[in-house]
Amino acid sequence: MFKREDAISRLKKAEPWDVLIAGGGATGLGAAVESASRGYRTLLVERSDFAKGTSSRSTKLVHGGVRYLAQGDISLVLDALEERGLLMKNAAHLVKNQVFVIPNYEWWGGPFYTIGLKVYDMMAGRLGMGPSEHISKEELMELIPNLIETDLKGGVIYHDGQFDDSRLAINLAQTAVEHNACLINYCELISFIKNDEDMIIAAIVKDKESGDEYEVRSKTFINACGVFVDHLVKLDDKESPQKVVASQGIHLVLDKSFLQGKHAIMIPKTSDGRVLFAVPWHDKVIVGTTDTLVNMILEDPKALDEEIDFILSTAKLYLTKAPRREDVLSVFAGLRPLAAPEVEGRPTKEISRNHKITISLSGLITIIGGKWTTYRQMGEDLIDKAKLLGGLPQSECKTKELKIHGYVPEPDFEDHFYVYGSDKKDLMKLIDDNPDYALKLDPELHYVAGQVIWAVRNEMARTVEDVLARRLRALFLNVKASVRMAPKVAQMMAIELDRDSKWIEQEIKSFNKVASTYML
């Protein structure tokens, strides 16, 4: 069972672990699934909530990376295309085939992009999702009737994957627990204990809910904290140079009327050389992304005005209904961890998203870089290193064939509850048995009360933000609706978690503060 109380009980027993992972985003969760499925005793601690950072703020694409192909990063594209195919097979309830259109406004665009995308198809091989092809202007306007027609020559269609990022993160956590891993959110690694040879032999972790601290002994220690890896690196060695700088990407969420039809748009080269996507997602449209180097690494980054203006002005060049600031339902920002030494003197958009693993002299395994699509491969690479470093028993990778919790082979993506996969049946029973649970939380979104109860009982949701941002996606889809929902959600959670009125008041206040970073 995926319950925090059970995980804390295991922590209190002071079990010896094979692998201790700090960080509950895509990379850490992928490593936990990899480790636990090999039979290693696995503990993962996350100082806030699973996927709280970048792993819930992606473009929602499982893709090889067309722009990396254009940059000549062939190995990354090959790896990502293989991982895309594996994810389509193993998490079919969350990953679907999305058709993209590249509109061509230059005479050379059709042949150029058609040839490039045929290479993309060829690289995907047997795990391909469908052939790319050139289409006429008339065919393109049928697919996306609200594209600007002036100078439009035609287009190219190609296939890539789309998913719900934080829902996949929760399912990965559940998968790891099903293989006997212990995962705890709101539990922070605060210090290391070393032996006389200056090797790490234990860590002190703090339960942020109770304030209790625990000494955790493990054979290996993995730092998978994303943009925050340097915090643990400094805990290990305060003289260590900075490993990560952050690049910010933002996305605007609009009503689906701004992108008519079911196809996504990809603009391969904008005015400053960046790629722009407009992608249908949960009955809305996500437009992004930017790539801005930032100095401050914040837990809740905020979109910059120039980033917002860039996306709006670029979208205006292609869509007959030009989005304005007042049309934006939500704006979210995420930080990409980039390898610091490689950044100097180079635009962030040109830096490879390949991951990099380092091992300190005291044995701390740190991973930087990477992308959601390759989370499984990153997990495999991390545990291969841990196996060698910790002298763990020989055990081969099983995750290429491992079905993720919730897997169903043919989901109905038109059903709002599709993200629950095989859990949908039990969720529906919970709602059917309690008529009040069928009540909508807000008229502008489809979420119902039973989903809040389910998130607390079965998905380790501890705060209003956990529910409205990551178990449900209300904060990302319509920030004003999510703020309206917050008091009702806090009251339901308080009953489930046995919290008082002061907790309710504090939760609403905390949520509203976070929600302010999603508002224009």
Bridge partners of 184, per DSSP, are: 45
Q: Is 439 within a domain?
A: yes
The pLDDT of residue 283 is above 90? yes
Buried b (16+ CB within 10 A) or exposed e, 449-472: bbbbbbbbebbbbbbbbbbbbbbb
From 116-130, 134-148, 158-172, the region with the lowest mean pLDDT: 116-130
DSSP alpha helix (H) spans, 71-194: 74-90, 109-124, 137-143, 165-178
100 and 200 housed in the same domain: no
153 and 253 housed in the same domain: yes
338 and 448 housed in the same domain: no
Strand bridging mode 200-207 / 96-104: unpaired
Q: What percent of the chain has pLDDT over 90?
A: 78
Where residue 86 falls among pLDDT bands split at 50, 70, 90?
A: very high
pLDDT tens per residue, range 484-507: 999 999 999 999 999 999 999 999
Where residue 15 falls among pLDDT bands split at 50, 70, 90?
A: confident
In degrees rounded to 5, what are phi and psi of residue 296? Answer: -95, 125
261 and 338 housed in the same domain: yes
The pLDDT of residue 343 is above 50? no
The mean predicted confidence, pLDDT, of the chain is 92
Q: What is the CATH number of the domain that holds 100?
A: 3.30.9.10
The pLDDT of residue 68 is above 80? no
- Taking the C-alpha atoms of residue 315 and residue 322, their distance in angstroms, rounded to an integer, is 7
Among 417, 425, 430, smallest CA distance to 456 is for: 430
The pLDDT of residue 250 is above 80? yes
Q: Taking residues 285-304, report their average pLDDT.
A: 92
The pLDDT of residue 275 is above 90? no
158 and 172 housed in the same domain: no
264 and 156 housed in the same domain: yes
Q: Is 407 within a domain?
A: no
Q: Is 86 within a domain?
A: no
Asked if 100 and 265 touch (Cβ cutoff 8 Å), the reply is yes
259 and 331 housed in the same domain: yes
Q: Taking residues 380-394, report their average pLDDT.
A: 98
Which pLDDT score, from 0 to 100, does residue 358 have? 96
341 and 251 housed in the same domain: yes
Q: Taking residues 309-330, report their average pLDDT.
A: 94
Quote the tokens at residue 189: 């690694």
Q: Is 397 within a domain?
A: no
DSSP state of 413: T
Q: What percent of the chain has pLDDT over 70?
A: 94
* Domain end (from 313, 347, 381): 347
Which pLDDT score, from 0 to 100, does residue 428 have? 98
Where residue 314 falls among pLDDT bands split at 50, 70, 90?
A: very high
Q: Is 201 within a domain?
A: yes
375 and 310 housed in the same domain: no
- Chain-centre distance of CA 505, in angstroms? 29
Count of the separate structural domains present in the chain: 3
pLDDT tens per residue, range 197-231: 999 999 999 999 999 999 999 999 999 999 999 99
Q: What is the CATH number of the domain that holds 510?
A: 1.10.8
* Domain end (from 347, 375, 410): 347
Q: Which among 129-143, 286-300, 336-350, 474-488 has the top mean pLDDT?
A: 474-488
Which pLDDT score, from 0 to 100, does residue 121 have? 76
SS3 call for 330: strand
Quote the tokens at residue 209: 């809910």
The pLDDT of residue 141 is above 90? yes
Which pLDDT score, from 0 to 100, does residue 108 have? 53
From 289-303, 417-431, 453-467, the region with the lowest mean pLDDT: 289-303
126 and 144 housed in the same domain: yes
Q: Is 176 within a domain?
A: yes
Which pLDDT score, from 0 to 100, does residue 162 have? 95
Helix axes 375-390, 26-37, angle to 10 degrees: 60
The pLDDT of residue 405 is above 90? yes
- Taking the C-alpha atoms of residue 365 and residue 139, their distance in angstroms, rounded to an integer, is 51
Which pLDDT score, from 0 to 100, does residue 301 have? 94
Q: Which residues contact 71 (CB under 8 A, 6 or more apart)?
A: 350
Where residue 125 falls among pLDDT bands split at 50, 70, 90?
A: confident
The pLDDT of residue 445 is above 50? yes
Q: Is 97 within a domain?
A: yes
**Residue range of the domain that includes 232:** 4-54+166-240+360-390
The pLDDT of residue 256 is above 70? yes
Q: What is the CATH number of the domain that holds 25?
A: 3.50.50.60
218 and 366 housed in the same domain: yes
201 and 343 housed in the same domain: no
Q: Is 73 within a domain?
A: no
Which pLDDT score, from 0 to 100, does residue 348 have? 53
- Taking the C-alpha atoms of residue 304 and residue 311, their distance in angstroms, rounded to an integer, is 11
The pLDDT of residue 49 is above 80? yes
Asked if 418 and 398 touch (Cβ cutoff 8 Å), the reply is no
Where residue 69 falls among pLDDT bands split at 50, 70, 90?
A: low
The pLDDT of residue 518 is above 50? yes
- E strand map for 362-432: 364-368
